[in-house]
Structure 1
Amino acid sequence: MATRALLRQQQELGVKADIPQNLRFLWFDDSTKDYEMIKNRFCKIIACAEDRWFRTIDQRECDLYFQQQPASVKVILISAGRLVEDITMFIHRQHKEKLDSVYIYCLNVQKYSLVETRLKRIVTVVGIFNHPQMLLTNLRYKLITQLHLLPPPEIPVLALNAVKVHQVPNVTANPIPILPPEVVVASTPPQYSCLSSDADDTDVKWFSHPGTFWCPWNSKSCTNALNIRGEGVVEIMQQTSIPFEIHLSNKKDANDPTAYSIILSIDEKEVILRTSFGTSDSSTELHHTLQPDDGSWHRYWISFSKITLQALYGIGEIRPFFTILNSSLKESDLQQIKEIQYLHIKLNKNDRMLTDLGHIQDKVRFYIGNDPVIHELPLIIIPKEQYTLEHEVNHSAMLVENLQRPCRELYHSVYNFKLNTDDFPDFVDVIEKSIRNPAGWCHRKLVEKANRFGKPNLMVTYLRITAGKREGRAPGHSYVTEIWPPGHGSPIHNHGNVYSIVRVLHGRIFVKLYPQLTLNTNLYKPIETMFEEGQVTWMLPKLNQTHQLQNIDVHDKSAITIQCYKYGREDREHYEYFDYIANDGKSIGHFDPKSDMDYDEFKALMRQERQNLY
């Protein structure tokens, strides 16, 4: 194997680095087409002879293959999901010393997640991959790390200009983590009604946002009135986890035995959504019940509607997709449902909570909204001239006029932005070449950033090319062009409650939306959407905030987006970081969204690379 210095020199000159001489690749699947495609592309990108690869679907051939290999050989196994457990166990028993690692290649990632967990107890399982490009990129990354081409991992520090990580411990055994002060301040929900400055604009849609703040201790009452009879949404946020019960009732007296009520009760073991007349739904799943004390604010909500005759309960963002319990109300109770106009709250089953629980007043928030949760939100913004009745009734797209002012301003500022221009018509092509060429700035920068989000992972890297200066109007720069090579993506992260517009400039980007950012986020099923070139999506302070972006294109085409951010006028904190789940899944970090390069400087650099390298 070449020396480290020689490999670095080869990389700088654009020469392919050879792979370890003792490395082999065994494809255990009957998919000949995928095998040939991935093998050929891998050998083209990496200096690898095709005879290092072998395909079989027969266990006896596999056994013979291992027997014929010298003792020093290490074999990477790439297996179909349906076959991987049996063949891995066989190889582990018969040829344990020669098995380097296992890649699971299948269509359904979730289906084989338990198999992956079982196998990880005895062998190195790199992961489950359902796209050829993601498998290919991970294989390339493994070679880069084995050849020591990655820089040493950065050590996270607590300076404000660095990537900061706080460990979130096992809450049953460890104390609550100490968070940096600015994180505590920014994550604390406001003790005031938080509607934006255009709250009276009739064109703006609020998407069930409960913006009216209510404090039982300040009002000296555990009862409040809803603004509209028969419908609404209530949000409760807790930093100290304490069981609670909410009654949505048609009687002002919380103890009236004749009252018709929709009741939400939740503790550490169970959540129950029921009516006083017997309709009931419940769950004992741990990520559905009262969340643990981990230093974070947890968000619960209940919605009901006299129109749909439904009562909904969820955790995190308030939208139909993140509903946990859905209780159908009886049509025979419609008149009483229409009369519901009171909210009664009880914490820890304590009728004297105003006096006995005053010490947790600052750890609990209540917000009340008028609009119940009825339909899923359209994620795509289209121009007015393209908007039709079909979009309106199917909620498949929206107008930018329906969003708050910061989103409208950002949308109009980038709607006509283009990458390829008359003076640089092949700008995108040069970027693609810079990503693929080891001597290109894009390629080298991506390798350098492999440990940006904790444990080194080249797949979780992308480029941030910024326009303008940091002016304090957003976390980092207001305008960021982000470049996503094939197979690359972001960690699961949120955006500090900013307004945002995202437009796809080139390729397409796959987005997963999550209800909240916690270490158990993966337990919640995400909303999954593919945004195509030219499409525009949006973000509000309490909607679409927690997401993960990935380029899953299988044809070696990068995705390029422009992300625009802005604090709202109602934002009194201006949180400067993006919080993310670290690559090891064991901590939440606070990332200062720095620039990799200014846009004009980047464009000039790509001109130089076109002249000197391509």
Structure 2
Amino acid sequence: MKLVPQTRAPLQQLFPTRTSEPVGAASDAGWPVAFTHYEFPVHGQGTISFTFKTDQPFRIVLGSERNVNGTLLVLEVGLQTTSLRRDNGTGPDGIIAETTAKKALLDPDIAISYWMSLDYLNARVRFGKGEMLPQLVGFEAPLPIKPAPAPTLPAGATAKARREAHKQAAIEAAGDYKQLRYIGLATQAGTPLPAAIAHLLWPLPVVLAPPPVLVPSERISLDMIARNEATVVASLPGACQVLYGNVAGPAVELNTPDFPDFAEAINYSIITPGCICYKKLQDKAKEFGKDDPNETYLRITIGPNKGDSPGSPYVLEIWPGNHYSPIHDHGEACAVIKVLHGDIWVELYPELSPSVTAFFTEAVFHSGEVTYLTPEYYQVHKLVNRNPPGNMTATIQCYRYPDNDTIHWEYFDYIDGDQKIKHFTPNSDWEYIEFRALIRAEWAKVN
């Protein structure tokens, strides 16, 4: 199986032939289906995502065969109604469930990811827009199957035997829907298929969101697992594990024995006219296209760009009170963010789009706490220091491309003041050693 990340790299050929000429049974000529290269590695479960910009209804088709003659589940995403069907027809008898909720409808002429999750074990289908997260489910429907009967087990059956028996009962109850594996797209006859800007296959259904809080394995507890309160680093991609290993230790902190007032000195430099941070923030007031002096922060790079990250892999970022970033993404890179001083609020967005201005959730991280992002999760965010002026936050932002990323996107894309997506080339206000020396000298003059 090849997982295709949603990178800016050229996409692999989505369909088996060079043309997107649909194939399908004549009886389904109203919605001819083009089956893709994709198939679920485990039959009956997985998530498929397509990023489209279209104003025409479309269907995502799951089949037990690479045609419309076998068992089907069909998700039709429309302008007024989104429905789940058991066939590729148009009659009302084929509808399993439908909704008119706006969050489940097609967003015309907006580039956004539409995903469909099949979960035979929990007997449900989920549909959402943006990242593949349960918080972004817009429509959910049960699989049209009979409840799994309670398995008959011999006395003294082991826990493993009980699990296997329940799993087998679920498979039998799912029936032909357990055989769904092939993935197709359809539009109404005479309407071209929308061009996929990106597409992604995930081998698991959307069940539980990985928590954005990152903790070492020695801190995780049964209660935290049961409440889904934290993620351990071993659950993340290798690139995140490398970054975490470099900055998570207790010695990676802002104040040190030889400069215990570093944080206070930075705060002083921010709020005092004529100091280096004060002047630099004034210079950067329109960096992201808005005449907004609060949409600024300082980037202190730690080491050069070695070719495995967008810009320097380690960046000390200084966030004055009431300052924030634009909404932005990270080019499908992995990242680990550790708070060194103060608090940072992270607003998470389903997609980077000028039309998507509401975050779906937010979290606050305090000094010593760590969060992360991966190509699949939490890529689009806005960082905010909601503390009042005079209370800066410092974070260490760490970036690394995934090991399988062979075409590196060297930018962070963001929404500018004209509500357009722009490329930000990671830059540096100072190098860390230089910055620390400048702040120390500045602080020494008043203490």
Instruction: Tell me the TM-score normalised to structure 2 length.
Output: 0.80
Tell me, yes or no, if structure 1 residue 527 matches structure 2 residue 366.
no
Look up the equivalent residue of 1:264 and give its one-letter code: L
Contact kept? 2:83, 2:96, Cα under 8 Å: no
Partner in structure 1 of residue 415 of structure 2:
581
CA contact (8 A) 2:42 2:181 kept: no
Aligned ranges for residues 401-416 of structure 1 at < 5 Å? Answer: 401-416=234-249
Aligned equivalent of 1:266: 77
Q: Tell me the residue number matched to 2:398.
A: 564
**Distance in structure 1 (CA, Å) of the matches to 2:266 and 2:176:** 59
Aligned match of 2:17: 217
Task: Indicate if the aligned counterparts of 1:450 and 1:461 stay in contact, CA closer than 8 A.
Answer: yes
Q: Deviations over 1:440-463 (max 9, x none)?
A: 211111121110111210111111
SS in 1 for 2:243: helix
CA distance in 2, matches of 1:188, 1:596: 29
Q: Is the 8 A contact 1:248 1:263 kept in 2?
A: yes
One of 123, 127, 130 as aligned partner of 1:316: 130
User: C-alpha displacement at 1:225, in angstroms?
Assistant: 4.6
Partner SS for 2:48 = strand
1:237 maps to 2:70:
no
- Tell me, in whole angstroms, the C-alpha distance in 2 between the residues paired with 1:337 and 1:606: 68
2:367 aligned partner, one-letter code: E
Q: Shift of residue 482 of structure 1?
A: 0.5
**CA-CA distance at 1:419 after TM superposition:** 1.1
Q: Is the 8 A contact 1:240 1:363 kept in 2?
A: no
Shift of 1:490: 0.5
**In structure 2, do the counterparts of structure 1 residues 262 and 338 end up closer, same or farther at CA, with 3 Å as the change threshold?**
closer
Q: Residues 273 and 325 of structure 1 are in contact (CA less than 8 Å); yes or no, is this contact kept in structure 2?
A: no
Distance 2:54 2:409 in 1: 22
Aligned to 1:518: 353
2:64 and 2:182 in contact (8 A); partners too:
no
Q: Does 1:553 align with 2:387?
A: yes
- Residue 457 to residue 225, structure 1, CA distance change in 2 (3 Å): closer
2:228 aligned with 1:395: yes
Instruction: Please give the alpha-carbon distance, in whole angstroms, between the structure 2 residues aligned to 1:418 and 1:405.
Output: 24
Query: What does 1:66-145 correspond to in 2, within 5 Å?
Result: none
Separation of aligned partners in 1, 2:302 and 2:197: 40
More helix by share: 1
Rounded to whole Å, the distance in 2 between the matches of 1:560 and 1:520 is 30
Residue aligning to 1:349: 188
Q: Cα gap change, 1:374/1:405 in structure 2, threshold over 3 Å: closer, same or farther?
A: same
- Aligned match of 1:420: 255
Tell me if the contact between 2:297 and 2:318 (Cα under 8 Å) persists in the aligned partners: yes
Partner of 1:237, secondary structure, is: strand
Q: For 1:288-331, what per-residue CA distance to the aligned partner results, in whole angstroms no more than 9, with x for missing partners?
A: 5444456x5x3211002123222111112111111111223455
Which residue identity is paired with 1:396?
A: E
Instruction: Give the conservation status (yes or no) of the 8 Å contact 1:380–1:396.
Output: yes
Number of the residue aligned with 1:283 = 100
- RMSD of the TM alignment (CA)? 2.8
Alpha-carbon shift at residue 216 of structure 1 (Å): 4.0
The aligned runs of 1:14-53 (5 Å cut-off) are: none
Deviation by residue 1:252-279 (Cα, 9 ceiling, x = unmatched): 65145xx4x4321124554333445543
- Work out whether residues 412 and 423 of structure 2, in 8 Å CA contact, stay in contact via their aligned partners in 1: yes
Distance across 2 between alignment mates of 1:364 and 1:419? 42
Indicate how the Cα distance of structure 1 residues 366 and 545 shifts in structure 2: closer, same or farther if over 3 A, else same.
Answer: closer
Tell me which of 250, 255, 273 is aligned to 1:438: 273
1:187-216: per-residue Cα shift (whole Å, max 9, x none)?
256317xxxxxxxxxxxxxxxxxxxxx534
d(CA) in 2 for partners of 1:396, 1:331: 33
Distance 1:432 1:525, change over 3 A: closer
Q: Which amino acid aligns with 2:138?
A: I
Q: CA deviation at 1:526?
A: 1.8
Q: 1:450 to 1:591 in 2, by over 3 A?
A: same
What SS is found at the alignment partner of 1:488?
Answer: coil
Superposed CA offset, 1:43-86 (max 9, x none): xxxxxxxxxxxxxxxxxxxxxxxxxxxxxxxxxxxxxxxxxxxx
- Paired positions, count: 395
* Per-residue CA distance 1:215-246 (angstroms, 9 max, x = gap): 34369964465322332211223366654212
Change (3 A) 1:384 1:363: closer
Distance 1:494 1:603, change over 3 A: same
Asked if 1:458 is matched to 2:275, the reply is no
The worse-fitting range, judged by mean Cα deviation, of 431-440 and 333-342 is 333-342
Q: Work out whether residues 320 and 376 of structure 1, in 8 Å CA contact, stay in contact via their aligned partners in 2.
A: yes
Q: Map Cα deviations across residues 381-432 of structure 1 (whole Å, 9 max, x no partner).
A: 1112111122223221121111111111111111131111111111111011
Q: Write out aligned runs for 1:189-228 (5 A).
A: 190-191=11-12, 215-217=15-17, 222-223=34-35, 225-228=39-42
Contact 1:511–1:548 (8 Å) recurs in 2: yes
Task: Choose 396-405 or 273-282, whichever is displaced more.
Answer: 273-282
CA distance in 2, matches of 1:404, 1:468: 23
Residue identity matched to 1:379: P
CA distance in 1, matches of 2:406, 2:298: 30
> Post-superposition shift, 1:378?
1.2
User: How far 1:608 sits from its partner (Å)?
Assistant: 1.0
Structure 2 residue runs without a partner (length 5+) = 1-5, 24-33, 88-93, 148-172
SS state at 2:330 partner: coil
Query: Matches of 1:539 and 1:462 in 2, distance apart?
Result: 20
